[in-house]
Structure 1
Amino acid sequence: MTLAIDLPETSAEDGPAPLSDLVARDAREFGVYARTGGWAFALMVARSVRPGGQRADETPKVSAKEFAELADCSAERVMRYYKAWDRAADDGLVPHFEELAPGQEAELPDADVWLTYYVSRNSATSERGAAISEAAEAEGIRPTKALEVAENPTALRAAILADPSTARAARTALLDRIKEDPELQSALARDVVRTDDLKKAVASESRSADRIGYVRQIAESGQVKTPAGQTIDAPVELRREAERHLSLIDELDEGEDAGEWASEAYDTMKHLVVETVEADPELRVQERRTKFYSSLQRATKVFEELTFDDAQEFYEDDMVQQLEELQQAIGSCIASLRGARRPAAPAEQA
């Protein structure tokens, strides 16, 4: 038995639809733009807009203003493409304007070269824009990106508020800038002292830095100041302990708070210094002597600052009473010191 299978009839209607010329044209134009970027549009300007100084009766080309009106855009936009082509022509990448006629094709550079020549904003031609462009090139980025950010400070603010990494980049940039900008330096300083939270944070960081500096001084110089202000050579054990604390602090991540580590290191060093002084009888005596002289000098300075030229204007009996009490206290101190003097040797007494 033969099995018969009826196959469906095919017709021209079931085949692929013919390619639209309009679609093909769009695809070709898209491909040109994908390969060349803005060069395709710059070519249209270069071959249609007459160079400066050329009269209208010398060429079928039109002015940038006329071309902009036909294109329904601004003359400034047309001129940005014109100038980009002009710069590229000077570098030998594209033909000069005089070599091009309306409708003429030309070999175009790759798209990734376009932004090297095209400046999308008029601000780039100003002094401010030139400075931004120069800084962008120094940082290894395209000037157009930096100019775009500079023209939209609200967007910059939003990014700083929302993104910690952007905030860190902004902080680093400000710190770099204030080195050469005294006005910004003063403005930031005023902002800090007027903001309680910042003022407290600065005081805390300053205290931590001072404490770390104290520990680092011991580790690097091998000397330390006693509570009374003497500078002595740090014992080996004390110096090693300072180095140990410093190594722990230096290993902290950049954003990690060193405050607690600094306090612990500082308190440890202070305690060890006191122990060092107390363990050495001669050093202990010298420490007390230094402390006494320091207190005496401060008291003397304060007393010397008192003036009595116009005492009759502010005199009160209580002042005399306090001075008399002070005189008695000084007398007692003198008596104690005299009594503490060592007795003279027998030969001297004879």
Structure 2
Amino acid sequence: MDATEVVDEQVARDAHDFGVYARTGGWAFALKVARSVRPGGELPGETVKVSAKRFAELAGCSAERVMRYYKAWDKAADDGMVPHFEALAPGAEIDLPDSDVWLSYYSSRSSATSDRGTAITAAAEAEGIRPTKALEVAENPTALRAAILADPSTAQAARTALLDRLKEDPSLQTELARDIARTEELKKAVASETQAATRIGYVRQIVENGQVKTPAGQVIDAPAELRAEAERHLSLIDELDDDEDTGEWATEAYDTVKELVVQTVESNPELRVQERRTKFYSSLQKATKVFEELTLDDAMDLDAIYEDDMLQRLEELQEALNTCIAALRKASPGD
């Protein structure tokens, strides 16, 4: 195109204004406010500048919108980015900061000035994003919900954010726990993940502490072969990505280690005897507790609760106890 082509004056003015805005962004408009709106402390008769309300009337917009530009300029002036209001006269021109800097001072939303908005702005800045984006999302929960429902990556981001918030929000912890308890699918998922975590913890305990609990509840030192196998399985689990299901891996590791524990016990005569002794005592304690809780104190009338098999079961239990007692007496060192 010929550079000497005659351009309409209005077109040239528009192009110039567009270029200024492309380079400076909101600074170009903030300058118009800063050099024309009367700062606090100056009376109407002391300056040709006007109030923010009057400037808004002349501009055909709200005073609130004018004040957002005013406050952005004020913050930038305090940081030495631009001159203070008192140094600017109507029509003054200065070199303006780059457009990228503008968004760190300006918020297009009135919610940014509230306590909630301040918190959102601070969080956005900590994440390295523009506060206006975060404020826009916060003001439109329905849009956020739609994005979470439609887009897996948005849902993942929301999940991560919720987990971070849960650490410092006891009320949210309670509400989420209640929601899980009331949702059958989530209850099952939590139970499955809890089981996997418990099994992985069992294997990790062997690797880190060198000890293992037997089926009967004994805590014994884990043999080198058992520790090596536990460490191998644990390393495979630790290498899984965060989004991979650990359930099958946890089950395989747990079953393998448990089988090795049984083999360890059975291959050692002393351990084998102690395992059976521990198991017997455990069963005896459970049976004793259950029988102690069996009481007729709450029954007003035995005739009302009587069933034939009650007596039969007690008689069978008595016979079993007598047999067990006789066997133990026979095995007693004193006999």
Answer yes or no: same fold by TM over 0.5. Answer: yes
Distance 1:15 1:94, change over 3 A: closer
Which amino acid in 1 is paired with 2:27? W
Q: Does 1:331 align with 2:322?
A: yes
Secondary structure, in 3 states, of the residue corresponding to 1:116?
A: coil
Residue of structure 2 aligned with 1:300, choices 267, 288, 298: 288
Q: Does 1:82 align with 2:70?
A: yes
Equivalent residue, structure 1, for 2:301:
313
Which amino acid in 2 is paired with 1:225? K
Following the alignment from structure 2 to structure 1, what is the Cα–Cα distance between the partners of residues 302 and 48?
100
| TM-score, scaled relative to structure 1 | 0.89
Residue 40 of structure 1 and its aligned partner are, at CA, apart by 0.9
Following the alignment from structure 1 to structure 2, what is the Cα–Cα distance between the partners of residues 224 and 187?
37
Q: Does 1:30 align with 2:30?
A: no
Residue 110 of structure 1 and its aligned partner are, at CA, apart by 1.7
Q: Does 1:256 align with 2:256?
A: no
Residue of structure 1 aligned with 2:207, choices 204, 211, 219: 219
Residue 126 of structure 1 and its aligned partner are, at CA, apart by 0.7
State the percentage of identical aligned residues: 76
Residue of structure 2 aligned with 1:107, choices 90, 95, 105: 95
Q: Does 1:191 align with 2:179?
A: yes
Following the alignment from structure 2 to structure 1, what is the Cα–Cα distance between the partners of residues 46 and 302?
99
Which amino acid in 1 is paired with 2:256? T
Following the alignment from structure 1 to structure 2, what is the Cα–Cα distance between the partners of residues 314 and 280?
52
Secondary structure, in 3 states, of the residue corresponding to 2:103?
A: helix
Q: Does 1:277 align with 2:265?
A: yes
Give CA deviations for 1:217-242 in whole Å, capped at 9, x if unaligned.
11111111111111111111111100
Query: How many residues matched?
Result: 331
Which amino acid in 2 is paired with 1:164? P
Equivalent residue, structure 2, for 1:116:
104
Following the alignment from structure 2 to structure 1, what is the Cα–Cα distance between the partners of residues 145 and 296?
61
Distance 1:49 1:276, change over 3 A: same
Residue of structure 2 aligned with 1:235, choices 213, 218, 223: 223
Following the alignment from structure 2 to structure 1, what is the Cα–Cα distance between the partners of residues 124 and 299?
69
Give CA deviations for 1:284-341 in whole Å, capped at 9, x if unaligned.
1221111111111111111112334455524526344432332222111111222334
Following the alignment from structure 2 to structure 1, what is the Cα–Cα distance between the partners of residues 102 and 193?
48
Which amino acid in 2 is paired with 1:307? T
Residue of structure 2 aligned with 1:291, choices 272, 279, 303: 279
Secondary structure, in 3 states, of the residue corresponding to 1:117?
A: coil
Q: Does 1:145 align with 2:133?
A: yes
Equivalent residue, structure 2, for 1:10:
none
Give CA deviations for 1:70-90 in whole Å, capped at 9, x if unaligned.
211111111111111112222
Residue of structure 1 aligned with 2:7, choices 11, 19, 30: 19
Equivalent residue, structure 2, for 1:347:
none
Higher Cα Rg: structure 1 or 2? 1
Distance 1:312 1:53, change over 3 A: closer
Following the alignment from structure 1 to structure 2, what is the Cα–Cα distance between the partners of residues 300 and 258?
39
Which amino acid in 2 is paired with 1:95? P
Secondary structure, in 3 states, of the residue corresponding to 1:256?
A: coil
Q: Which moved more, 1:265-274 or 1:85-94?
A: 85-94
Distance 1:132 1:312, change over 3 A: closer
Q: Which moved more, 1:300-309 or 1:335-344?
A: 335-344
Q: Does 1:154 align with 2:142?
A: yes
Following the alignment from structure 1 to structure 2, what is the Cα–Cα distance between the partners of residues 160 and 310?
55
Q: Which moved more, 1:307-316 or 1:143-152?
A: 307-316
Following the alignment from structure 2 to structure 1, what is the Cα–Cα distance between the partners of residues 35 and 100?
22
Q: Which moved more, 1:84-93 or 1:211-220?
A: 84-93
Residue 188 of structure 1 and its aligned partner are, at CA, apart by 0.6
Q: Does 1:93 align with 2:81?
A: yes
| TM-score, scaled relative to structure 2 | 0.92
Query: Counterparts of 1:41-60 in structure 2 under 5 Å?
Result: 41-60=29-48
Following the alignment from structure 2 to structure 1, what is the Cα–Cα distance between the partners of residues 3 and 123?
60
Q: Which moved more, 1:213-222 or 1:106-115?
A: 106-115
